[in-house]
Amino acid sequence: MRIVSAPMIDLNHNGISDIWEQMYGASGLDPNGDADGDGVSNLREALAGTNPFDSNSYPHITAFGTSSTNFSVTVPAALGKVYQLLSITNLGSTNWLVETTVVVRAGSAVPLFSTPGNTRKFFRIAISDTNTDGSGMNDWEKYHLGLDPLNPVSNGNLDGNGQLMRDYDYATNKLALQNVFTISATDASTTQPDPGSSPTDLGTLTVTRGGFPLNTVTVNLGLGGPGPGFATEGLDHAALPRSVTLAAGISSTNISVTPLANTNLHAPVIAQLKILPGTNYSIGNQSNAAVVIYPSPTPTGTGLFGQYYTNSSTTYSSNVNFNATNLFLTRIDPVIDFNWTNGTSPNLSNGLYTVRWTGQVQPQYSETYVFDVKSDDSCRLWVNDQLVITNWQSQSLTDRTNSIALQAGVRYNIKLEYLQTNGAAQAHLYWYSPSQSSVIIPSNRLYPTNGVSGGSNAPAVITSALSAVAFLNQPFSYQVTAANTPLSFTASGLPPGLNFTANSGLISGTPTLAGNFSVALTASNAVGVGASLVNIQVIDTGTSVVREVWTNVPGTNVTDIPTSATASLTNTLS
């Protein structure tokens, strides 16, 4: 057989198609060697498009036949290759004549025919490449890359000048990322089910390879952590794979993060996977990704922890208020809805008393809540460690209200202090929101302890958004926020060019690399750690877009790009 080359993608200049090398993992083979020992050199296998590691894959005749009208031979075929049946009448001659030429466009075998005559002939088969559309890459390569060998711009993309991109440029650009693997969170959050229930929503991590899916690659994976803020495999979520295999033709694969019921989880944690080094691939900038696992939102509270004291004072700072020597009762109060009279226990209508209730409150909706304390005499109320109501004096039954924005499912620290100076004694704690009418806060939304250390304060919980938008080479800032008085923050996986301030939780700087970056966050206080993620999308606007206006998108770009926070592009000028 005679095998002839034609234009090809050969960026390493070894005379062999880079596409063939990628398909068979044959980079670095000696062209003159014979890897599978089938008698056909690696170079000739490359030119024929056969597998250099399979001794049954080589250019050869599988069948031949004769009849009164023709002579035929059949050979295995590769799409885009040119197969010719050549003949001579004298073995010493070099003047081979072309009997049949076929460019294979379909099928896996090709028959070649010759019309017999009265003269004895000797035959051979020639295999060659062709570049039908003049694109600079041969038809065999285009078929394997999913391109049209009859159209030099079949990829459908535009170049930097807004013109249709040549297939050769498209292919070589993608080959620069060949088998560069990244991982991303395509569903970045999930919620633990209640005991005895199955999860209704799974988190999803997606492993993606760059370039063309020409061969099978197995990628090694590892868990993030362990440590504060990281989920525990087998406790918070089901086991995650330590490798994934992408077969030829497959560019990405999904990994489900299945949360497990864990009644001891009181703050969100993250389940993270990282791409680890291995053979036949390299690791891209997005080398790790995570899913936030939220505790079950089903309320299971039992009330607030109440401490009852005698000898109160209308001067809040007086040391007789909440003095340990005056503490006469501690208990769990399911709700704060009291009208103390001579028939109640304890009876607070006959003296000077203070009461302090502590624990957490868990809202059902992510919106602004109004807290309403109706009391005789008066009170002070903290929510999320913020003093929202203060009124410490003798008074008749009076409503005091204030509002605060809360996130659904988060346990916020709450503290209510009550003053009684004689006579009628009442204390009632209500709340309402746009989605909820005014009611006494129910016991299942109130927790007397944090469930972690037995104290009344809760771990820090990150409340900032899960996504933010930045622009390449433009100043950017993003403020991490958290409930329950965070003392410090961490951030890992920042885009290049951005920095993090641990004590304030500020991400700022000028991003220097476009892409999507999954940044793992934690917030800590004296009780514990809450974890979350923010996906920072760094957009390269190039030179064609000079101004973009985004609304409701966290993150700021301090130049000509205002933000006000809905992930929609409202204006583009070019």
CATH assignment at residue 252: 2.60.40.2030
Sequence-ordered list of residues with C-beta below 8 angstroms from that of 443, at least 6 positions apart, any chain: 301, 302, 303, 334, 335
Q: Specify the pLDDT at position 560.
A: 37
State the pLDDT at residue 366: 94
Q: How confident is the model at residue 66 (pLDDT cuts 50, 70, 90)?
A: confident
Q: Are 90 and 50 within one domain?
A: yes
Tell me: pLDDT of 349 over 90.
Answer: no
Q: Return the percentage of the chain with pLDDT > 90, whole number.
A: 77
Query: Are the CB atoms for 456 and 375 separated by under 8 Å?
Result: no
Nearest to 482 by CA among 438, 437, 532: 532
Tokens 């197995």 -> residue = 218
431 belongs to a structural domain: yes
Q: Same domain for 321 and 386? A: yes
Cα–Cα distance measured from residue 158 to residue 156, given in angstroms and rounded to the nearest whole number: 7
99-122 confidence digits (pLDDT tens):
999 999 999 999 999 987 778 888
**In sequence order, what are the beta bridge partners of 217?**
246
CA distances from 492 to 24, 72, 272, 502, 554 (A): 37, 66, 12, 11, 18
Mark whether 346 and 381 lie in a shared domain.
yes
Same domain (yes/no): 383, 282: no
Residue 142 lies in a domain: no
Last residue of a domain, one of 421, 447, 473: 447
Per the listing, tokens 């034609």 go with 6
**351, 232: one domain:** no
Q: Quick: pLDDT tens for 450-484.
A: 877 778 889 999 999 888 999 999 999 999 999 99
Query: What is the per-residue pLDDT for 320?
Result: 92
Give the integer Cα–Cα distance in Å for 439 and 507. Answer: 40
Residue ranges with strand state E in 104-248: 109-114, 122-128, 180-187, 189-191, 203-209, 217-223, 243-246
Q: Tokens 């958290």: give the residue.
A: 482
Report the pLDDT value the prediction gives residue 183, as an integer from 0 to 100: 94
Percent of the chain with pLDDT over 70: 94
**Which structural domain range is residue 506 located in?**
461-573
- Residue 31: pLDDT over 50: yes
Tell the residue number behind the tokens 């070649």, with chain if given.
Answer: 112
Give the per-residue pLDDT at 450.
81
pLDDT score at 546: 47
So what's the pLDDT on residue 111?
Answer: 94
Quick check: 4 pLDDT over 60? Answer: no
Cα torsion 306, 308, 312, 314 to 10°: value is 20
Q: The tokens of 314 are what?
A: 């209308």
Instruction: Look at residue 453 and tell me if it is in a domain.
Output: no
323 shares a domain with 264: no
Last residue of a domain, one of 294, 318, 339: 294
Is the residue at 456 inside a domain? no
Distance CA 188, CA 534 (A): 9
Among candidate residues 65, 98, 128, the one where a domain is terminated: 128
Asked whether residue 167 is domain-assigned, the answer is: no
The encoded tokens of residue 458 equal 């809760």
Mean pLDDT of the region 291-312: 94
Mean pLDDT, residues 269-275 = 95
Rounded distance, CA 124 to CA 102, Å? 14
Are 254 and 312 contained in the same domain?
A: no
Between CA 496 and CA 482 the distance in angstroms is 24
For residue 187, the model assigns a pLDDT of 93
Domain of residue 414, CATH code: 2.60.120.1560
Cβ atoms of residues 83 and 102 within 8 Å: yes
Number of domains comprising the chain = 4
160-165 long-range Cβ contacts below 8 angstroms, 24+ apart: 160/542
| Per-residue model confidence as pLDDT tens digits over 368-407 | 999 999 999 999 999 999 999 999 988 999 999 999 999 9
Both tokens of residue 44?
A: 């000739």
Question: Which range, of 73-77, 334-338, 434-438, 563-567, averages the lowest pLDDT?
Answer: 563-567
Q: Are residues 248 and 212 both part of a single domain?
A: yes
Specify the DSSP class assigned to residue 229. Answer: T
| Inter-residue contact 187 to 216 (CB < 8 Å) | no
566: domain CATH number?
2.60.40.10
User: Over the chain, what is the mean pLDDT?
Assistant: 90
Do 111 and 224 reside in the same domain of the chain? no
Given a cut of 50, whether residue 571 has pLDDT beyond it is no
154 domain-assigned:
no
- Give me the amino acid identity at 492: S
**Domain match, 119 and 203 both:** no
Amino acid, res. 559: T
The predicted structure's pLDDT at residue 285: 86
Instruction: Check whether 572 has a pLDDT greater than 50.
Output: no
> Cβ neighbours of residue 272 under 8 Å, at least 6 residues apart?
223, 224, 225, 230, 288, 289, 290, 520
In a domain, residue 163? The reply is: no
**Regarding beta strands 529-539 and 467-471, do their DSSP bridges make them parallel or antiparallel, or are they unpaired?**
parallel
pLDDT over threshold 90, residue 210: yes
Instruction: Provide mean pLDDT across the span 156-172.
Output: 93
Confidence of residue 91 (pLDDT cuts 50, 70, 90): confident
Domain assignment of residue 402, yes or no: yes
- Region 67-78 average pLDDT: 89
Q: What is the mean pLDDT of residues 133-142?
A: 94
pTM > 0.85: no
Same domain, 243 and 349: no
Q: What is the pLDDT of residue 76?
A: 95
- Reference 171, options 117, 133, 224; nearest CA is 133
The angle formed by the CA atoms of residues 564, 518 and 469, to the nearest 5 degrees, is 20
CATH for 104: 2.60.40
Residues 53 and 91 occupy one common structural domain: yes
pLDDT of residue 418 exceeding 50: yes
